[in-house]
Structure 1
Amino acid sequence: MASPPLSLRGIYESLRPPTLRDLIFSAKAFTAAAVALLAGFSQNLENPYWAVLTIYIVLNPPETGAIRSKAVFRFFGTISGGVVMLLLTGLFGDQLGILVGVTIAVIGTAVFFKQTDRTPTNYFWFSGAITAGVVGLTNLLQPTNMFDYATARMGEISLGILAITAIDSLFWPRPMTDDFLKTMADWRGQARQWMIDALSLTASRSLDEDRRQVVRQGLRDLTKAVGVIDAKAVQLPFDVVPMAPRGRHLDLVRREVVELIGDLAAIEIWARSLRRDEMLQTDLGRSIDAVTAWVRDAPELPDAMTDQHVARGAALADELAAARAELDPQASRIIMVERGLLNRLSAFVRDWSDLSLALRAIETGQTLPPRLEQIARRAKPVRSIDYLGAALDVAPMLLSMSFTTLLWYFTAWNSGGGALLFSFVGCVFLIGQGQVLRSSAGLILLILTAFAFVFLYQYAILPRVTDFPVLIAVLGCAMLPLGLLMSMTLAGMLLCVYIFAFLGLQDAYAADFNTSLQTLSASLVGLLIAVTSLHVCSYDRARFATRRLLAAVRRDILDLSRSRRIPDRDRFLLLAVDRLALYFPAAELAAAGGPLPRLRMIDDFGIGLNLMTLRRHEDEVSPGVRATIERLRAGAAVAYRAKLGGRTDDEPFAALVETALDDPAIRAEPASDPLLEALTGLHLALDDARLPPPGEMLP
């Protein structure tokens, strides 16, 4: 298992020889810091070091689109946090106890919303929480200073934002659209190979479950693209390229990627069931070969051949639909499986073509076809949000701040406000970290190192250097190496944060030894309280997340079975794949490098989609068939209620599906094709659930 990034070993493992990009990153940070300090000192700002702190935080990640988007969120988050604290001070400034409690509640609420937002937009909430903490917690004993301190901080943060965005735009801006397109090209290459491997299962006559397990678990790498798109969809519209991608085009890319993941998961379920049959239809073999050849010929990046390839895909999808129509669904179950596979292959080809057109629109700025333009306008991301997980993440921070407040109250400690601030900061940076005690050792070392730099600067350099160019040159001797370290490890960023936070909490123009020691003691006490609280409230986040995500999918199927109204298919699909994308990384951590505890999530996904198909046709069938579908719904509800309770008993539900497959009333229905295909899909997913692949690990 990899060491935590803030542990001493994790910091050591992250070190490497600097690259040209690292040097450019460090040079940009130092130049922007020099500009901000020059402006701050010349205008006699209260503490220009807050501007430098902002520069180092906003500059990571170093792509221009990410910097500009982060700068926007930082600006509005800072303004919002400052304004909220001014309002709270106006209401409760004369009641210290209430002001402390309300301030902690505001900070906790902002961090809670940050934890529920999985996109870079959460930096708005983070900035608001940090501003509320710094402004509110450092001025609790002097509420009359709150307005001056808040406005000064907002001005200094704005100075830092302007400095870094200007320097980044003028010197070596780093576009990110090309990198995104390259990432998507790599993803499509992985999806292409996965598709070929999954279809090759139909040609195998051996019951090689180990090989199939490898194919199925290969899906986890494809789901990682969902998180990448979630991040880039926020940042790319701010990119430095001549025509920045539009948000709706990125939403369309995410939607098509999710659709393709759903197609691939379904294809694997249908394809593996055919490999036990030695007499595949010749037409099916040709169809599989045609899809394999078409996807192999797909261009890596959108180019002039995209239209031609999409046209071939449209013709191929029509051929697959025609081949499916030629197979009689009444003939046998094998024929029904072949029909189902052809249907999934046709959907895969169309979704792959749509993704190609969406990526070309991002690369070239060309307009989308009208059909895709309409889909893009409706393609709002659907994401799974775990409010309970977010609350558990915030709980140790609230415990730490509450305990620090009580310690401050009962001891009347002069640095209690500073300890309260650092207990908050320590929790914010340790939330979600594994092995908290190992990470805390790294953080304590970072605090002591930062204080050593600050002590040397304030008492050995600042009193002896009066000329600004000389001061900047001396600072460069430390800031340039720190910039290199920051480009390699999170510890480098935290070291910069603590250095300039220590400087920002003190007088910028006159050092006070007593104040410096009080700040150091407050930071160490606050961090120790934070670590203790995190350790007391610790739990296995990975295992908790896997259980929660699996339960959420099963609860969706239970609701789908019981709901009177037919749920929206697209929402169910998008939400299920989004949860799958979250599930795999958490399962990898829970497995600690061993086989993934898949826990039937893919099979639950297949059951849900096929149950959705039955529900969509429920109002079109005769009363007798409708009663059969209602019995199936009731059976699914019983099965998934039991699964949510920790029991697994699919046999009664499977028996209902078997009976329905042989029901002549269903075969006589005008809508028998989709009904039989959905029932066959349910049968395959339930059959797979009863036969676990060897080597699968259950928690």
Structure 2
Amino acid sequence: MAAPPLSLRGVYDSLRVPTLRDLVFSAKAYLATALALIVGFSQNLENPYWAVLTVYIVLTPPESGAIRSKALFRFLGTIGGGMVMMGVTALLGDQLGVLVSVTILIITGATFLRQTDRTPANYLWFSGGITAGVVGLTNLMQPTNVFDYATARMGEISLGILAIAAVDSVFWPRPMTPDFLKTMADWRGQARSWLVDALSLTAAQSSDEDRRQVLRQGLRDMTKAVGVIDAKAVQLPFDVIAMAPRGRQLNLVRRQVVELIADLAGVEIWARALRHDQTLHTDLGEALEQVSRWVEASPDQPDDRTEAHAAEGEALIAALNARHDALDPAGGLTLATERGLLSRLAAFVGDWADLSLALRAVETGGKLSPRLDQMARQAKPVRSVDYLGAFFDVAPMLLSMGLTATIWYWTAWSSGGGALLFSMIGCVFLIGQDRILQSSTGLLTWILTAFGLVFLYQYAILPRVTDFPVLIAVLGCALLPFGLMMAMSTAGMLICVYIFAFLGLQSAYAADFNQSLQTLNASLAGLLIAFACLYLCSYDHARFAARRLLLAVRRDILDIARSRRIPDRERFLFLAIDRLALYFPAAEQLFGAGQLPRVRMIDDFGIGINLLTLRHSEPDVSPAMRAVLQDLRVQAEQTYRAKLKGRSDGGALRELVDAALDNPALLTETTRGRLIEALTGMHLALHDEQAPPPGEIIP
């Protein structure tokens, strides 16, 4: 298992030979630092070191779109956090105990919101909480200074934002869109190969479990694209290319990727059920060949052939639907399964073509067709949010800051405010991480390294360097190597940030030895309290997340079964795939890089989506069949209530589904095709569920 990224071992493992991109990154940081210090000192700003700290925070990641979006969130968060603290101090400045308590609640509230937002936009909450902490906690004993301190910090951080934005725009800007398109091209290539392999499961020799598990491993890897798109959708609209992608286009890309993952999961289930060539309808093999050829002919990156290929896809969908309609669902389980596979393939072809057109619009900056534009307007991302997990992550911060404030209150500790500040900072960087002791050791090492460099700078360099250009050159001797380290490890960024944080907490124009030691003592005390609270409140994040995600999918199916209103299909689908995308990384941490146990979430997803189809069909069936479907829903509710409690239903739901398939009344329904396909899909998922897994991730 890999070491935590902030641990000594984790940082050592991340180091490598610097590349040209690393050198450019380090040079940008240094130039922005020089620019910020030149302007700050020439204009006699109160503490220009805050501007430099902003440079090193905003510069990661190094792509221009990410830098610009992060700069905007930093600016808004700083303004918001500063104004909130000015308002709170104006109301409660004469009640120190209440002011401390409210400040702690503001910081933990911002951190909670940050933990619930999985996109880079959470930096807005991060910077707001940090600003509220720095402004509020450093001026608790002198509330009258909050207004001047907050406005000065806003100006200095704005200077840092402008410095890095200017340097990045002039000096080797790095666009994000080409890398994003290449990532999507790689994903499409992976999906293409996966589909061809999945369709070969219909062959007689393809029925062994190991090969099927390899396919599900591949599906696991493809879900990672959801997280990539979530990050890039926030950053790409700020890219430096002439026609930066619009958020609407990126939402459409995300929607189609989610749809394709669902299509592929369905294809795997339906194709695996057709294990013997001799049972296939004579035309199905030809249809599978047509789909394979069409997908393999699609360009990796959208180009001038994209629209023509999408038009071929429309013709292929019509042919697949014609084959589908020609099969009588009453002909038995095999024909019903073939119909289901043809339906999934038609959906896959349509979603693949729409993704190609959406990526073409991202690449060229062109407009979407009216149909796709309408889809894009409705393609609002649906993400799974675990509020309980976010609360557990924030709890150590609340405990740490509360304990520090209590010690400060009872002992009249002169460094209590500083300890409270660093208690917050220690929690901010370690929240949500496993192996707290290893991470804490690393973080403490990097902070002490930063303070040692600050001590050297203030008492060995500043007294001997009186010329500003020489001072900038001397700073470069440290900043350039740490800039290279930043490109490889978070530790490099932490060292640079803490260097300028220590400098920012002191006078910018005169070094004070006693104040320096007081800052060090406060930081160590606050950090040790934070580490202790984080360790006491630590838990197995991966196991907790995997269990919660699996239970969430099962609760969704329970809601489908019992809800009076029919749940929205797209919301269920998007939430299920989003949870799969979160589930697999957690499962990887539990089981290492090896093969994962059978993924129950895929089986539950198959049951849920088909149960939802049956619910949509209920108004259109006869009273007798409606009673059958309602009985099935009642049993599904009971089954999933039992699953949520860790119990089995003894196969009762599967027996009821099979009985519904054998019911003669089913063949008299006008919507029998849709009903038989949905019941067959549930039958396949429930049959798969009975196979003994190598292990399961829920106690």
Q: TM-score, normalised by structure 1?
A: 0.99
Cα distance in 2, alignment partners of residues 619 and 323 from structure 1: 27
State the partner residue of 2:281.
281
Q: Which amino acid aligns with 1:458?
A: Q
Cα distance in 2, alignment partners of residues 591 and 506 from structure 1: 47
State the partner residue of 1:596.
596
Cα distance in 1, alignment partners of residues 82 and 89 from structure 2: 11
Cα distance in 1, alignment partners of residues 216 and 199 from structure 2: 12
Contact 2:55 2:163 in 1 (8 A): yes
Q: Which amino acid aligns with 1:497?
A: V
Cα distance in 2, alignment partners of residues 276 and 448 from structure 1: 66
Deviations 1:98-131 (A, max 9, x none): 0000000000000000000000000000000000
- Cα shift at 1:176: 0.3
Tell me, yes or no, if structure 1 residue 75 matches structure 2 residue 75: yes
- Cα shift at 1:312: 1.2
- Cα shift at 1:601: 0.5
SS, match of residue 300 in structure 1: coil
Q: Which amino acid aligns with 1:416?
A: G
- Cα shift at 1:282: 2.2
SS, match of residue 538 in structure 1: coil
State the partner residue of 1:211.
211
Cα distance in 2, alignment partners of residues 692 and 119 from structure 1: 37
- Cα shift at 1:240: 0.3
* Matches for 1:664-679 after TM superposition, within 5 Å: 664-679=664-679
Contact 2:32 2:167 in 1 (8 A): yes
- Cα shift at 1:598: 4.1
Cα distance in 2, alignment partners of residues 648 and 185 from structure 1: 42
State the partner residue of 1:297.
297
State the partner residue of 1:497.
497
Tell me, yes or no, if structure 1 residue 428 matches structure 2 residue 431: no
- Cα shift at 1:638: 0.5
- Cα shift at 1:279: 2.5
State the partner residue of 2:402.
402
SS, match of residue 464 in structure 2: coil
Cα gap change, 1:194 to 1:693, in 2 (>3 Å) = farther
Cα distance in 1, alignment partners of residues 694 and 146 from structure 2: 64
Q: Which moved more, 1:587-596 or 1:635-644?
A: 587-596
Cα distance in 2, alignment partners of residues 68 and 163 from structure 1: 12
Q: Which moved more, 1:269-278 or 1:566-575?
A: 269-278
State the partner residue of 2:576.
576
- Cα shift at 1:497: 1.1
Cα gap change, 1:650 to 1:158, in 2 (>3 Å) = farther
Cα distance in 2, alignment partners of residues 598 and 587 from structure 1: 11
SS, match of residue 223 in structure 2: helix
State the partner residue of 1:366.
366
Contact 2:203 2:276 in 1 (8 A): no
Cα distance in 1, alignment partners of residues 171 and 610 from structure 2: 54
Q: Which moved more, 1:199-208 or 1:302-311?
A: 199-208
* Matches for 1:39-58 after TM superposition, within 5 Å: 39-58=39-58
Deviations 1:319-358 (A, max 9, x none): 1111111111111110000000000000000000000000
Cα distance in 1, alignment partners of residues 341 and 311 from structure 2: 22
Q: Which moved more, 1:539-548 or 1:364-373?
A: 364-373
- Cα shift at 1:696: 6.9
Cα distance in 2, alignment partners of residues 251 and 553 from structure 1: 23
Deviations 1:597-625 (A, max 9, x none): 44510010000100011111111111111
Cα gap change, 1:209 to 1:278, in 2 (>3 Å) = farther
Contact 1:595 1:696 in 2 (8 A): no
Cα distance in 2, alignment partners of residues 184 and 230 from structure 1: 13
Cα distance in 1, alignment partners of residues 198 and 556 from structure 2: 27
State the partner residue of 1:127.
127
Q: Which amino acid aligns with 1:469?
A: P
Contact 1:136 1:146 in 2 (8 A): yes
* Matches for 1:518-557 after TM superposition, within 5 Å: 518-557=518-557
* Matches for 1:674-685 after TM superposition, within 5 Å: 674-685=674-685
SS, match of residue 330 in structure 2: coil
Q: Which amino acid aligns with 2:159?
A: L
State the partner residue of 1:482.
482
Contact 2:543 2:697 in 1 (8 A): no
State the partner residue of 1:179.
179
Cα distance in 1, alignment partners of residues 594 and 189 from structure 2: 26
State the partner residue of 1:252.
252
Q: Which amino acid aligns with 2:211?
A: R
- What are the ranges of 5 or more consecutive residues in structure 2 without an aligned counterpart? none
Cα distance in 1, alignment partners of residues 53 and 117 from structure 2: 24
- What are the ranges of 5 or more consecutive residues in structure 1 without an aligned counterpart? none
Q: Which amino acid aligns with 2:545?
A: A
- Cα shift at 1:452: 0.8
State the partner residue of 2:269.
269
Cα distance in 2, alignment partners of residues 372 and 260 from structure 1: 16
Query: How large is the RMSD of aligned CA atoms in angstroms?
Result: 1.1
State the partner residue of 1:443.
443
- Cα shift at 1:692: 3.2
Deviations 1:193-237 (A, max 9, x none): 111111111113354011111111211110000000000000000
Contact 1:607 1:682 in 2 (8 A): yes
Q: Which amino acid aligns with 1:184?
A: M
Cα distance in 1, alignment partners of residues 317 and 535 from structure 2: 55
- Cα shift at 1:259: 0.1
State the partner residue of 1:233.
233
Deviations 1:244-295 (A, max 9, x none): 0010000000000000000000111111111156432221111111111111
SS, match of residue 463 in structure 2: coil
Q: Which amino acid aligns with 2:106?
A: V
Q: Which moved more, 1:646-655 or 1:398-407?
A: 646-655
Deviations 1:498-533 (A, max 9, x none): 101000000000000000001111111111111110
Q: Which amino acid aligns with 2:501?
A: A
State the partner residue of 1:562.
562
Contact 1:75 1:158 in 2 (8 A): yes
Cα distance in 1, alignment partners of residues 597 and 426 from structure 2: 33
Contact 1:587 1:598 in 2 (8 A): no
Q: Which amino acid aligns with 1:688?
A: D
Cα distance in 2, alignment partners of residues 697 and 211 from structure 1: 21
SS, match of residue 282 in structure 1: coil
Cα distance in 2, alignment partners of residues 251 and 615 from structure 1: 28
Q: Which amino acid aligns with 1:430?
A: L
Q: TM-score, normalised by structure 2?
A: 0.99
Cα distance in 2, alignment partners of residues 433 and 98 from structure 1: 31
Q: Which moved more, 1:274-283 or 1:256-265?
A: 274-283
- Cα shift at 1:35: 0.6
Contact 2:50 2:157 in 1 (8 A): yes
- Cα shift at 1:698: 6.7
Cα distance in 1, alignment partners of residues 133 and 252 from structure 2: 38
State the partner residue of 2:14.
14
Cα distance in 2, alignment partners of residues 204 and 647 from structure 1: 35
Cα distance in 1, alignment partners of residues 497 and 649 from structure 2: 54
**% identity of equivalent residues:** 71
**Across the two proteins, how many residue pairs are aligned to each other?**
699
Cα distance in 2, alignment partners of residues 260 and 127 from structure 1: 36
Cα distance in 1, alignment partners of residues 173 and 212 from structure 2: 45
Q: Which moved more, 1:184-193 or 1:404-413?
A: 404-413
Cα gap change, 1:697 to 1:543, in 2 (>3 Å) = closer
Contact 1:26 1:483 in 2 (8 A): yes
State the partner residue of 2:349.
349
- Cα shift at 1:365: 1.6
